[in-house]
Structure 1
Amino acid sequence: MVKLNEETRESYLDNIMKAVITEEIETFRTMFLELHPADQTDVFLSLEPPERKRVYEFLSPDEFAEVFEGLETEDQKRIALELDDHYAAEMFNRMYADDVADFFSELEEDQAGVILQAMDREEADDVRELLTYDEGTAGSIMTKEYISVKAFDTVEDVIELLREKGPDAETIYYLYVVDEAGKLVGVTSIRDVITSYSDKTIESVMSSRVVSVHVKTDQEEVAQIIQKYDFLAVPVVTEHQVLVGIVTFDDVIDVMEEEAAEDLGEITASRGADVTLGPFQAAKRRMPWIVLLMFFGLGTAEVISVFESTLETVVLLAAFIPMVMGSAGNTGTQSLAVAVRALATGNLEKRGFMKTIAREFLTGFYIGVACAAVIIVLIGLFYGDFFLGVIVGVSIMISLGAASVIGTTVPMLINKLKMDPAIASGPFITTLSDVISLMIYFLIATSLLQYMQ
């Protein structure tokens, strides 16, 4: 299999393009099918519609299915419109059911229905089943292409089964053992099978201690289980322990990427506003948070108006407002990221709610002590007023501790309400920390005002 690097990509692409334009079918097939599937997808996307139409003629639905699976959803929608209905149906028949279901979930119901009608009945039924599960669950990301065997099967029987059905399975590293009712009773590996004597039964080489997930288990929890046990796949069962599918490692990678992108979007208050959107659509998705935070920001103005007399007495206090607010906001955002990460990995349960809060408070406080020491010296040297430095320094020290608690507590409380903790966005934490740190700053300054005059 050929893998393209930057040096060979351009010349190889030129040769493939030439073969497409001149309709040299065999030359095209030889060069294109030798490529790694990821490079096949890249090459295909670089073609113009007329050239792509010829590719559909040069490749069978089975061969093109691998290219189609490598496309992003938006590209899949665009390319699907270019395909002949019969060609498309045959292609979907050759794809793994979970990949087809992922694509159909992005289509209108009537569009998906038309294609399902044209597909083979067995393949269509598998896709329909996957579409019934709630998005984000193990059932929605599992694949139906797996190998199951019986406990009384011999090793020789299983090896013969692998020869017959192995090419169509998504993975054969694990073989799942089921009883007559389809219930999961054990698991064995391909290594255990091929290193055993042919007359041995699977029951003698299987493990009955099987780690499985329920069809309704959240996909993020599935990813954690696969990561924890270093699995290549995990079986999916119903409430009656009937095996209905498996979630493979590559599906988990997609889930982790999707969850990370989603959490980043939530934390930055820009969920869904990726670079593929136009400026208007992106602005529409980001705008609600920004408008909401404007109202929260009015709290800052209110705090300043309450302590207006303090500012009038010592005008220099105003110069350090951005420093106090910025330091608290940054620290709160750091604690937010730590808390969301701890919740996502399950480390929070191990450490405990109060211990985590105490740890983040002390972390923020210690950072504050270091910042206070630096700022006291700097203000004393540059402004000749060490007492003002003490006020600013102590305010930062307390504010950083408080901001750390806010950044940790808010996502934890949201998680307790069974909501995604990532919705405690960075801008929200920053704004809340701003208001509280400003209040701390002015309370300390007002209480010590008599010593500054």
Structure 2
Amino acid sequence: MVKLNDETRAAYNRDLLELLQEGEDTAFRLKFLDLHPVDQMEVVQQMKEENRNRFYEIMSAKEIADIFEELNLEEQKDMVLEWENKDMSDIFNYMNADDVADFLGELEEKEREEILTGMDTEEAEDVKELLTYEEETAGSIMTKESIHLHETEKVGDVLNRLRNEAPDAEMIYYLYVVDESEKLAGVVSLRDLLVASLEEKVGNVMSRRVVSVHVNEDQEDVARLIQKYDFLAAPVVSANNQLLGIVTVDDVIDVLEEEATEDLAEFATTRGTTDVNLSAFTAAKRRAPWIILLMFLGMITAGIIGQFEETLEQVVLLSAFIPMLMGSAGNVGTQSLAVVVRSLALGNYEKKGLLWALIRELGTGLVIGFACALTLIILIPFLYGGDLLLAFIVGFSIFLSLGVAAVIGSVVPLIINRLKLDPAIASGPFITTFIDVVSITIYFSMATMLLQFL
């Protein structure tokens, strides 16, 4: 298989395109099929539409299926529109059932039924089963292309089965064993089978200490389990422990990427707008509600400053430190939010406890606040005419504000998590706006109390 780097990719693609345009079908196929499916996908994406139409004519349904699986959903939809002379159902027969289910799940019911009707009965039934499971569960991401063994099978018979069935299986390094009722009984590795006697029964070779996931378990929990145990796959079982399929590590990588993208979007209030294919108008329409809401919340800050108008009139210099105070408190709060949200995602705080988390973040905020306060108490008199009291007000305000900001940044996602909601919705802009209100209140309250000494 050819491995391309940045220097050879362009030249290789150019050669492929020339062969395709000159009608050298056999030479093109040999050169093209020597690439990894991911590289094949990139070559097809760079073709013009007329060249892709020619490409579809000379490639088999199975070869197109391998490329189709590497595309994202929007790219898959675009490719399907170009398949004028290809039977979609035939192509989907060669794909993994979970990949077909992911694509069909985005179609209208009528289109979905047309494709399923044209597929092989067994393949279609697997896809239909996967479509019945709720999104973001183990059932929705599991694959049915797995080899199940029985306890009573002989090792020699299993190895013969693998020679025939392995090419169509998603993964063969772990093989899951079922009993006569099709319930999960154990797991055996390919290595164990290779070193065992051919006459030995699988039940005597397998391990009964098998970790499984329920079909309705959240996909993020499944990903954590596979990550925790360094599995290549995990079996998916029903309520009565019947083996339904497996979740493989490549599916888990997709889940982790999806969840990380979702958390980042929640964190920045950009959920639903991370797709670069969205138009500027669509992205703005989805982001605007949050921005407008935060704008109104920001007006609360303006209202609080208005309440301390007399204080500002007497000591105008206080206004010079408002951006610094709000920005520093917002930054510390956002840092605490990021730390807590990530720790919740990894399950770290379950070991330490809620109180430990709050004390740690409060301590972190106060230490940072003390360092900032000390710096300001030294610099402000030097820069603003030796006013030590002003320096003390600003320094002590930032000390308190950063400590409070750290607590707010950690408490809010913890509360949301206790409510069984995604803690990432305690977004950075929302937390920052809330902290702005608190820090300004602390700042001007202190200044007002000490106004007579300024």
User: What is the TM-score with the length of structure 2 in the denominator?
Assistant: 0.98
Q: Residue deviations 1:19-50, cap 9 Å, x none?
A: 11111110110110001111100000111111
CA–CA distance in structure 2, aligned partners of residues 198 and 346 of structure 1: 44
Give the 3-state SS of the residue equivalent to 1:165 in structure 2: helix
1:286-301 pair list within 5 angstroms: 286-301=287-302
Q: Residue deviations 1:198-248, cap 9 Å, x none?
A: 111111111111100001111100010000000000000011101101000
Give 1:390 shift. Answer: 0.9
1:12-411 pair list within 5 angstroms: 12-84=12-84, 87-274=87-274, 275-383=276-384, 384-411=386-413
Give 1:86 shift. Answer: 5.5
Give 1:84 shift. Answer: 4.2
- Structure 1 gaps, min length 5: none
Percent of residue pairs bearing the same amino acid type: 57
CA–CA distance in structure 2, aligned partners of residues 84 and 270 of structure 1: 37
Residue 425 (1) aligns with residue 399 (2): no
Task: Please tell me the residue identity of whatever aligns with 1:363.
Answer: T
Q: Residue deviations 1:331-378, cap 9 Å, x none?
A: 111111011101100111111111101100110110000000011111
Q: Residue deviations 1:254-303, cap 9 Å, x none?
A: 00000001000000011111222111001011111111111211210111
Task: Please tell me the residue identity of whatever aligns with 1:289.
Answer: W
Give the 3-state SS of the residue equivalent to 1:186 in structure 2: strand
Give 1:14 shift. Answer: 1.2
Give the 3-state SS of the residue equivalent to 1:34 in structure 2: coil
Q: Residue deviations 1:61-104, cap 9 Å, x none?
A: 01111111111211100111221475321110000001111111
Task: Please tell me the residue identity of whatever aligns with 2:225.
Answer: I
Q: Residue deviations 1:361-410, cap 9 Å, x none?
A: 11011000000001111101111212211110110111011111111111
CA–CA distance in structure 1, aligned partners of residues 277 and 62 of structure 2: 30
CA–CA distance in structure 2, aligned partners of residues 217 and 85 of structure 1: 41
Give the 3-state SS of the residue equivalent to 1:326 in structure 2: helix
Task: Please tell me the residue identity of whatever aligns with 1:323.
Answer: M
Kept in 2, the 8 Å contact 1:182–1:243? The answer is yes
Q: What's the counterpart of residue 439 of structure 1? A: 441
Give the 3-state SS of the residue equivalent to 2:381 in structure 1: helix
CA–CA distance in structure 2, aligned partners of residues 24 and 16 of structure 1: 10
CA–CA distance in structure 2, aligned partners of residues 84 and 92 of structure 1: 15
CA–CA distance in structure 2, aligned partners of residues 178 and 38 of structure 1: 35
Give 1:315 shift. Answer: 1.0
Q: What's the counterpart of residue 451 of structure 1? A: 453
CA–CA distance in structure 2, aligned partners of residues 85 and 230 of structure 1: 44
Task: Please tell me the residue identity of whatever aligns with 2:408.
Answer: I
Kept in 2, the 8 Å contact 1:325–1:433? The answer is yes
Give the 3-state SS of the residue equivalent to 1:146 in structure 2: coil
Kept in 1, the 8 Å contact 2:178–2:185? The answer is yes
CA–CA distance in structure 1, aligned partners of residues 10 and 211 of structure 2: 47
CA–CA distance in structure 1, aligned partners of residues 425 and 371 of structure 2: 31
Kept in 2, the 8 Å contact 1:86–1:118? The answer is no
CA–CA distance in structure 2, aligned partners of residues 279 and 136 of structure 1: 28
Between stretches 300-309 and 140-149, larger displacement belongs to 300-309
CA–CA distance in structure 2, aligned partners of residues 243 and 150 of structure 1: 12
Kept in 2, the 8 Å contact 1:411–1:421? The answer is yes
- Structure 2 gaps, min length 5: none
CA–CA distance in structure 2, aligned partners of residues 203 and 250 of structure 1: 29
CA–CA distance in structure 1, aligned partners of residues 312 and 103 of structure 2: 60
Q: What's the counterpart of residue 3 of structure 2? A: 3
Task: Please tell me the residue identity of whatever aligns with 2:25.
Answer: I
Give the 3-state SS of the residue equivalent to 1:234 in structure 2: strand
CA–CA distance in structure 1, aligned partners of residues 416 and 350 of structure 2: 15
Kept in 1, the 8 Å contact 2:57–2:85? The answer is no
Give the 3-state SS of the residue equivalent to 1:272 in structure 2: coil
Give the CA RMSD over aligned residues.
Answer: 1.0
Q: Residue deviations 1:109-133, cap 9 Å, x none?
A: 2211111111011101111111111
Give the 3-state SS of the residue equivalent to 1:4 in structure 2: coil
Task: Please tell me the residue identity of whatever aligns with 2:199.
Answer: D
CA–CA distance in structure 2, aligned partners of residues 180 and 205 of structure 1: 17
Give 1:159 shift. Answer: 0.5
Give 1:157 shift. Answer: 1.2
Give the 3-state SS of the residue equivalent to 2:336 in structure 1: helix
Give the 3-state SS of the residue equivalent to 1:159 in structure 2: helix
CA–CA distance in structure 1, aligned partners of residues 205 and 425 of structure 2: 47
Q: Which runs of 4+ in 1 moved over 3 A?
A: none
Task: Please tell me the residue identity of whatever aligns with 2:400.
Answer: I
CA–CA distance in structure 2, aligned partners of residues 262 and 111 of structure 1: 28
Give the 3-state SS of the residue equivalent to 1:23 in structure 2: coil
Task: Please tell me the residue identity of whatever aligns with 2:65.
Answer: A
